[in-house]
Structure 1
Amino acid sequence: MKKYVLSFAILSLFYVESKACAWADPDYEYFNLFTQSIIRDKSYLPFLHSYSTRFYTDFKNSQIPNENVESWKKFFNNQLSYVETDYLVNKMNIGDLNELKNGNPKNQLLKKLGFNFYKTYQEGIDYLIEAKYLEPYMRINYVENPNSFYYDRDQVDKNATQLDYKKTLAALTSLYNASKNTEVKQRYGYQIVRFNHYTRNYDAAILAFKNYVEPIKLKGVPYYMALDQLGGAQRGLKMNSDANWNFFQVFMNSKSHKESAFVSMKLSDTASFNNILKKARNNEEKNMAYFLLGYEDFNNPIPIMEKMYEINPDSEILKVMAVRSINELERSYLPIYYYDSNDPNKTVSQKTSSTLSNHDTNGEAAETKDEKLSFWQKIIRFFKNLFGGSKTDKTDNGNKDDQSDNELVDNPNRIPFFTKNNYWYDESTKNFLDDLEEFTNKTKEKSKDEYWQIADAYLKFLKKDYKKSIQLLNDIKTSNPEYLEEIKRMKVLNDIVSQPRIDAEYENHLMKEYSEYFVEKEVKKDSTQTDYDYYGPKPSTASFLKDVLANRYFIQGEDGKSFLMNNKLSDLQYNPNSSLVKSVEEFYRKPNKTQFEQQIISKNMNNVGNIDAFFSIIYGDRAMRQADFEKAQSFYRKAQQFTGIPRMDYEWNNNTQKITIHQYNTNEYNGFNNISNLVFGHNVWVSYQSDPQKSMEKEDYTQFPMIKPLMNKLEIADALIELKKLGSGKDEKGSKANQLIGNLLYNTSILGYYRELFVMDIDNTNGGKYDFWNTDKKNPYQYYYKNFLDKSYIEPDNFDLAITYYKKALDLSNNKEQKARILFQMASAEQGKYYQYEAKNPSAIDYSDPKWSEKSDAFQKQLDQTKNQKFRTYFALLKTQYSDTQTAKSLMGSCSYFNYFMK
């Protein structure tokens, strides 16, 4: 983990551990490759799939048509455009309309229309003047509960009670009676119902609807606007069933008020849905009721969709349900990060008939079934594996470049596939891909909308039947621009994801045909934008394809290219695993790179100062941790041009982030220079955050002039080589030389005060590099190197190396005090071996186990027994043979654990 800002690191931990964090957005957790908004009826856009908000919001409000504006446009005989009508009805101020009425308009639109426009549509204009006068007051008066937690509203806010009830009602009634145009008359009726509703005269509102709205036998926009107000009045009188039914009618017949009508329905239980279903008078109403039920209960949408299909296979709302279903599946098939299956906190389902189908070289899918082998088949398979090798053998042994195209295509770690590893899902998450495909396949035969063909092709893509998917896409005939854009994207996806091997020829194909998805475009920000992005960039098709290629390179054994698809070269400093570094270096030195490698992959070879020195430091550090001092020396000689571990300084000011490259001071440790000779000393107490002089104590270096007060890594390697030679002697000087080597190896281990020196870190403050996390795998990554910085990937310490040198020192020393000190250092190293053992043997007791406490105590007791039997050798020796030494007595005062052990 990067050590930029401590508070940021702490917040990151909370993000990883909790799915309820306020700053985590589930709609950023998957690649939305199937565009939900391609549905034809845009009034249902709010009802597309979203977990971040109650309703889907990733669209422009102007995409949803306003039926009230459309109604007025028709009223004015289409003399005005939709935009002009919207301006006149919803945005123009009342003064402009009064000036038109008085024959002296100043507004440009009204001047163009002229006074004849008013004379022609007088009743409509007069109504708009009255409506604009009432509008600021048309909200219900807010009555605050004395115990309310909510914000106390500004007392100057207008509401309906601030109007004179009798005068307003009389004026509206008079205008209603005087109106000759039935549509305008009904609009006045709507205003009367609304005014009574908002003044909480609920009975009067219901009566007004009956007397002023219903008698006009029109069921256009004004009728449903009034019906919406009637429902509100009925809700106020606890007539919930009637209110729900009326809101349901509004939902069905309104375009721009569907969201508010749905909220007003308050469908909180099955009974509410059943009541609506019982009242349904025709198939259209039944179909809509099923839609609402499916919208609220979305664990498995197929049964509800089947009922809707039986009523009308070509209904728009069935397409909405289908696109929501696809989006739900996408969240499991296309998460922005596939967690490793060996992560105990995540579950990855890799073997399902619908997701991991077998493929031939043409990409055709065949059903995967559980294979039951006869005894004879098992024998044949045994000998095939014995003499011919198997796919598993090749993959496990790292011979990935020997894989055939079939093996690459059938690799179970080849993304995308179904997984439950996303934070937002649990065991109830279902893979209904097969059922949805079957449903879509039959619906496309009944419906005339090409949507179902596109959906079917996309489901084939998820099932990895790329050949069939492409065939379906090629057969679609449509002029719908949104459909065409989706088809184009899906063809790209099928092409890239179906490719067995990403080689130089195919990389050239990518640059020729799809460079727009890989060449980053410069995004210009306006003056109102900042560099701060709350959630980060939204997942895109381009970022998904980048992940796909990173996965393919990983499977092919091209780890360096896989790493650089998702990471920068400088990121290696945080988890410098030497085998990965070697692969990255091989790519760096590769001659004749393809255009794709040069422009897309190599651009992530960012500034690390001298790149050759950067690689040499990592290799040299690893050699030091393996006690191969000669090898380390050879690498450090190549690293003398190293300018420092690349670090960034971050400054925040009013949500604006300033990033600058850290400039190392002359005496500051930079990954190579300015290392204190305390690294050869021993710790007085374990405190990583204390000053070196408080935590560490020097040894006597008078016999070893090669150990200078400040050294670089090359000088340390030189000194260790000399100490190693001196350590072959048989005297006290040889003992001391071996002890100093042991000290350095321990002090630079995960437990040492200088633990940062050989893991390319800047200081010893805590982080993932210093966890006793273990894996039996050479490479703990399973799919690609995405989120590389979230996982430690450094070869573990070998504490036996330090112990070996301490043993030599112990055998050569005749000084009992010195022997006691050496034994304590050996015991400290042995403690590290125990921590490694403990990390490899974690508790498997479930917290839900009723006997969790009892079992946990037993498990801890077993660990303690193992610790004392196998990892307390040198503590025991120190206690039995050296407890009378001044060194042991001093250690009891500074080391609480040793004090506890001695007692």
Structure 2
Amino acid sequence: MLLACAGGPADLNEFTSYFLPESAAIQAGDGRYHYTQQFLYLDEYSDSLRLEENTNAEAWAKYAGVSPEIAYNYFYAESPNNTLSNRLLLKGNKAAIAYLQLAKAADNAYRPATYSWEEGSKDSLVLVESYEKAKQNARTATDGFLKERYGFQAVKLAMMLDQPDACIKLYDELIRPLKTKSFISDWAYARRAGASMAMGDTAKAIYEFAQVFERCPSRRREADLSLRMKGVLFQEKALSYCQNDAEKAAVYALCAIQPFQDGLPFLKKMVELNPKNSLIELIAAREINKTEYYSLGEIPYTEDTLAFEAHRKESPSYFEELKAFTAELAENKNLNNPAFWYTAASYLAYVNKEYDQASEYLTKAQAHPTPNNYLKQQIAVQQMLLLVAKQEAVTPEFEAQAIGMLEQFNRSDNFRLVNAYTRACGLLAKMYRGQPLEDKKSGGFLSSCGSKSDEVPATHLAKAFLVEAASSWQSRPQSDDLYLPAFATNKDRYAIEDSASTGTIEQVLQYMQQPALTDTDNRLIGLSGVDADYLYVVLGRKYLSTHQYAKAAEAFGHVAPTFWTAETSVFPTHFDENPFHLSPNNGESKTHSFTPATFAKRMAELESQMNKGDAKAAYLLGCGAYNIGYWGNSWILSQRQRSSSEYEYMYPPRDLSGEDYYVMTKARSYFEKALQSKDPELAAKAAFGAALCEQSAFFIYRANEGRDLGYGEDEQTAFQKRMSVEEKKRLGKYFALLRSRYAATQYTQEVLEECSIYRDFVGGE
């Protein structure tokens, strides 16, 4: 199931993988047999091929002397016409028209449901009538083209009428003796295989479906699904029906692409029996991808976690076995694509951390030209991963080479290339920070260690930040239709920014604004997807959220004025109320002309005035600090995004009671100072502002208390009752001041009129 959530996979088949299955040479349509954790590999190209329709239309076009478009329209168009039958009539071919009428009648009489919630239709009278005519005409027809098709209709209708034994007999009588056979005979053989399955002879069905799969592209998908949907796996007995090694290899091939089993033993048999089998490379890629799925990623949602863990434990030895076998096949003269086999062996050596051997195999792969662009991409991916894995120190030459390689993949929509790109960025960031990449002896493929104790140059720390930002989904270049796909392995640039200190952001800015940036520097900055304006906004927000107003003003002051009002800017939409306005109306206009820079500057001025004893300045500081928090009207000044219920449903859950952004501790301290004012109206406003801060803290308290609350009505009622008591208790301090000390002020009267919580408090006194 794929939920429609932001940041989710852009490909249903996505998992941690760095090996492109398309590197394998395959026939058109066979991409659907690449490994996937889904039931089927939903590949648009593979599953959009109309092999059955096109093959049949072309046969009829040749027979009738018409264009393939005319034949296709008659059989498969949503709004067909009768051009084909009219042309046959003009040629006097009434026998062909009679066949077309029978075939259409049979098809219209049997309409199985496409989905489980639908009802199919079956007109048994029409089917029986067509069945008898098909048998009769198959026995008497002299036109070989029509004779074969009548035989197919008889076999097909027998199965529609639930007569599998008759289906087998009719195939042996009407199809098997034909001296000239086309794909139609294979379609009939597929029905015969279905009859064997229906009669419980699964071994025979495996054999028969395997032969259909091997020799009939237009029924290959159906042959696979006939086993897959019933969970039928390899049976040794199926080999007893085989007439030669090629047929045995076909059995192994069909079984190898079925889920829930290891395909390597079948692959070895296929190479031994028929090295020309077209699926050998695909099955090898499947086994690599399958083992990646179990060994490299996090444990996914699965009903059988124990089985998954068992596969994970077996993965290292399976990778070793795969590596040895692919290396052996690279030298096998009976196989004609050494570039693929050397590339596969190189990748498996890389996974096993045998980097020198991986490089050696990759060099051999490059020595063999290939027309497969995916294989060329795979070679490039491995060059990139090996370059980083083998490098021991960052040098200008290495940086230039690494950045050049990264630029090849930052626009890709193939999740495996994105996986590799993200991994290379992460490893390069570690190198800049002086961290070991992997523990080659004891760690896993993705293991890493802590930072070295040596001091890391500020420039390297800046580059580490930029290369990590480059791996984020936000830094991916948009497609022509402005679509920005996100992959599970992509980093989140916002999380990277949040975890970076102000010092790091300042180091990045200093690096980006050097007067003599090299070409490599500029390309790295380009990959990162950020510029100076963007980072000054990040820096300003960080300073503003920690109430360092002068520093925030300085940072925001570096941002180009047009940035705040540009069409792509979020500020015109989300910074649309005066950050010093509170409701009920505190005397500050709702409209404003601030930019983030002028607001931060004003906050710095107010802080200076407050420190000199100005209570009004303290109050306005409180308003500003409140409004840049989660509950305020100008949260966009300190955060880039906000959800209306994030404090309740944050994942993973965490206690927010110590985070100023949510509980408004700083704002309350300003209101506390304003309460010292001798002006009762100002003091009343400060008291209400402080109450709002208390209310914010209460909301966080309530969310924490209700985190594990059940859905039972009694439990919910008891919780709401307890929270009602807690709310009055926790908001009592400042409401009590309004009630007792400032009840006569005009502002308190406005609060009484507009704030239901205060009215409840007063009413309960």
TM range (shorter): 0.5 to 0.7
Structure 1 residues 138 and 250, CA, compared in 2 at 3 Å: closer, same or farther?
farther
Match of 2:316 in 1: 434
Task: State the 1:589 CA deviation.
Answer: 0.7
- The letter of the residue matching 2:733 is Y
Task: State the 1:820 CA deviation.
Answer: 4.6
- Which residue, out of 30, 33, 53, partners 2:19? 33
Specify the SS of the correspondent of 2:561.
coil
Match of 2:617 in 1: 737
- Which residue, out of 676, 679, 688, partners 1:811? 676
1:642-721 aligned within 5 A: 642-648=562-568, 676=578, 679-684=579-584, 696-698=585-587, 710-712=593-595, 716=599, 719-720=602-603
Does structure 2 retain, via aligned residues, the 8 Å contact 1:799–1:829? yes
1:741-756 aligned within 5 A: 741-756=621-636
Task: State the 1:720 CA deviation.
Answer: 4.4
1:290-689 aligned within 5 A: 295-298=257-260, 301-302=261-262, 305-306=264-265, 309=268, 316=277, 320-331=282-293, 418-420=296-298, 427=305, 429=308, 430-431=311-312, 432-444=314-326, 447=329, 448=332, 449=335, 450=338, 453-475=342-364, 481-482=371-372, 485=376, 488-489=379-380, 491-498=382-389, 499-500=391-392, 502-510=394-402, 514=405, 517=408, 537-539=413-415, 541=417, 544-545=420-421, 548-549=424-425, 552-553=428-429, 556=433, 557=461, 558-564=464-470, 566=472, 567-568=474-475, 579=502, 581-599=505-523, 601-602=525-526, 619-635=539-555, 638-639=558-559, 641-648=561-568, 676=578, 679-684=579-584
Structure 1 residues 809 and 282, CA, compared in 2 at 3 Å: closer, same or farther?
same
- Which residue, out of 665, 683, 690, partners 1:826? 690
Q: Give distance in 2, aligned partners of 1:249 and 1:568.
A: 47
Q: Give distance in 1, aligned partners of 2:649 and 2:195.
A: 63
Match of 1:262 in 2: 224
Q: Give distance in 2, aligned partners of 1:835 and 1:262.
A: 56
Structure 1 residues 898 and 290, CA, compared in 2 at 3 Å: closer, same or farther?
farther
- The letter of the residue matching 1:173 is R
Structure 1 residues 468 and 135, CA, compared in 2 at 3 Å: closer, same or farther?
farther
Mapped pair 1:239 → 2:199? yes
- The letter of the residue matching 1:324 is R
Deviations 1:180-220 (Å, cap 9, x if unpaired)? xxxx69x9456424345347575765443333444569999
- The letter of the residue matching 2:110 is V
Task: State the 1:486 CA deviation.
Answer: 6.7
Q: Give distance in 1, aligned partners of 2:697 and 2:49.
A: 64
Does structure 1 retain, via aligned residues, the 8 Å contact 2:211–2:251? no
Structure 1 residues 603 and 208, CA, compared in 2 at 3 Å: closer, same or farther?
closer
Does structure 2 retain, via aligned residues, the 8 Å contact 1:724–1:741? yes
Q: Give distance in 2, aligned partners of 1:62 and 1:637.
A: 55
Q: Give distance in 2, aligned partners of 1:774 and 1:866.
A: 29
Task: State the 1:749 CA deviation.
Answer: 1.9
Structure 1 residues 45 and 901, CA, compared in 2 at 3 Å: closer, same or farther?
same
Deviations 1:537-591 (Å, cap 9, x if unpaired)? 3336377326522552266332134324544599989997573643542342134
Task: State the 1:844 CA deviation.
Answer: 8.2
Does structure 1 retain, via aligned residues, the 8 Å contact 2:475–2:529? yes
Does structure 2 retain, via aligned residues, the 8 Å contact 1:227–1:247? yes
Deviations 1:609-628 (Å, cap 9, x if unpaired)? xx55x655554554444444
Does structure 1 retain, via aligned residues, the 8 Å contact 2:384–2:406? no
Mapped pair 1:15 → 2:1? no
Does structure 1 retain, via aligned residues, the 8 Å contact 2:426–2:471? yes
Task: State the 1:133 CA deviation.
Answer: 8.0
Match of 1:399 in 2: none
Q: Give distance in 2, aligned partners of 1:741 and 1:510.
A: 49
Deviations 1:847-892 (Å, cap 9, x if unpaired)? 9xxx997999899799969977996573575489559666667645
Structure 2: where are the runs of 5+ without partners? 68-90, 434-460, 478-491
- The letter of the residue matching 1:230 is R
Q: Give distance in 2, aligned partners of 1:709 and 1:266.
A: 65
How many positions carry a matched residue from both structures?
Answer: 658
Deviations 1:429-486 (Å, cap 9, x if unpaired)? 4424313223224535765345655433222223333222112334568566549737
Mapped pair 1:49 → 2:35? yes
Match of 2:139 in 1: 173
Does structure 2 retain, via aligned residues, the 8 Å contact 1:460–1:468? yes
Does structure 2 retain, via aligned residues, the 8 Å contact 1:626–1:801? no
Task: State the 1:260 CA deviation.
Answer: 1.8
- The letter of the residue matching 2:414 is K
Identity %: 15
Does structure 2 retain, via aligned residues, the 8 Å contact 1:42–1:65? no
- The letter of the residue matching 1:756 is I
Structure 1 residues 421 and 852, CA, compared in 2 at 3 Å: closer, same or farther?
farther
Does structure 2 retain, via aligned residues, the 8 Å contact 1:742–1:805? yes
Specify the SS of the correspondent of 1:488.
helix
Match of 2:85 in 1: none
Task: State the 1:94 CA deviation.
Answer: 0.4
Match of 1:895 in 2: 755
Deviations 1:248-277 (Å, cap 9, x if unpaired)? 35436524132222334575256x865965
Task: State the 1:752 CA deviation.
Answer: 1.6
- Which residue, out of 64, 89, 95, partners 2:65? 95
Does structure 2 retain, via aligned residues, the 8 Å contact 1:241–1:275? no
Q: Give distance in 2, aligned partners of 1:445 and 1:628.
A: 61
Match of 2:451 in 1: none
Q: Give distance in 2, aligned partners of 1:211 and 1:472.
A: 55
Does structure 2 retain, via aligned residues, the 8 Å contact 1:824–1:875? yes
- The letter of the residue matching 1:894 is E
Task: State the 1:632 CA deviation.
Answer: 4.2
Deviations 1:648-672 (Å, cap 9, x if unpaired)? 4xxxxxxxxxxxx89x9xxx6796x
- Which residue, out of 192, 200, 208, partners 2:151? 192
Specify the SS of the correspondent of 1:27.
coil
Task: State the 1:47 CA deviation.
Answer: 2.5
Does structure 2 retain, via aligned residues, the 8 Å contact 1:682–1:743? yes
Specify the SS of the correspondent of 1:268.
coil
Task: State the 1:327 CA deviation.
Answer: 1.8
- The letter of the residue matching 1:747 is N
Does structure 1 retain, via aligned residues, the 8 Å contact 2:410–2:418? no
- The letter of the residue matching 2:139 is T
Deviations 1:97-147 (Å, cap 9, x if unpaired)? 9xxxxxxxxxxxxxxxxxxxxxxxxxxxx9x99779846864643335899
Q: Give distance in 2, aligned partners of 1:852 and 1:767.
A: 18
Does structure 2 retain, via aligned residues, the 8 Å contact 1:213–1:223? yes
Specify the SS of the correspondent of 2:694.
helix
Q: Give distance in 2, aligned partners of 1:135 and 1:455.
A: 50
Does structure 2 retain, via aligned residues, the 8 Å contact 1:633–1:717? yes
Structure 1 residues 560 and 772, CA, compared in 2 at 3 Å: closer, same or farther?
same
Does structure 2 retain, via aligned residues, the 8 Å contact 1:834–1:871? yes
Mapped pair 1:230 → 2:200? no
Deviations 1:739-795 (Å, cap 9, x if unpaired)? 22222221332212333344468xx98597999889999xxxxxxxxxxxxxxxx99
Q: Give distance in 1, aligned partners of 2:46 and 2:629.
A: 56
